Structure 1
């Protein structure tokens, strides 16, 4: 399950819909509540995904990196700054038309981008920052 409560479909081909109670035993109100909750969760996941995709584009433009590196940078900074991926993506995209993210987040983004660029080019990259 990801940060917005979305669980990816199983890779083994099993049908997860079998876990959802349905039919006369559950009743329409209970089934309707389950479906409404699922729709709410899927909408939140879609909105979050769109924001994350925009943040990836910003990182790719700013740091001239690949989509994979942009994803790794976003995940790395999220983990090291204890900011959820969704919140970090919002901060990155908001910085295109408002204030920049906080200095610790900007520093973490730069350091992570430098590490991933160095790894892509086969050099060891900068030493980790002791203040992190």
Structure 2
């Protein structure tokens, strides 16, 4: 079973990404194999929720439970309009949450999706 994890970071700045890159470089310099990291980032919750809508979460869950399938099969499984499911699949592919296999079926390569939300910094009084 595939154990890749997609990390969705919300509200973290470039410093978080730079720190992760530095850790990976240090491990490589020590001759260690770094753990693969798959992640996407969003400025704020509204931006993240515009991509990962409730219907798209349902779509991801269906793919995880059922495995790879055509978009038409997915639309039937979800009892949704084909065009809307197709648009959702395309959007989630842009954000790395869905991939297409050699037969053209779509699937999610992740065993887990972790959402990491950071609240904005408090402004000085």
Give your verdict on TM over 0.5.
no
TM-score band, normalised by shorter chain? under 0.3
Structure ranking higher on relative contact order (CA contacts 8 Å, 6+ apart): 2
TM-score, scaled to structure 1: 0.26
Q: Choose between structure 1 and 2: higher strand proportion.
A: 2
TM-score, scaled to structure 2: 0.27
Instruction: Indicate the structure (1 or 2) with the bigger Cα radius of gyration.
Output: 1
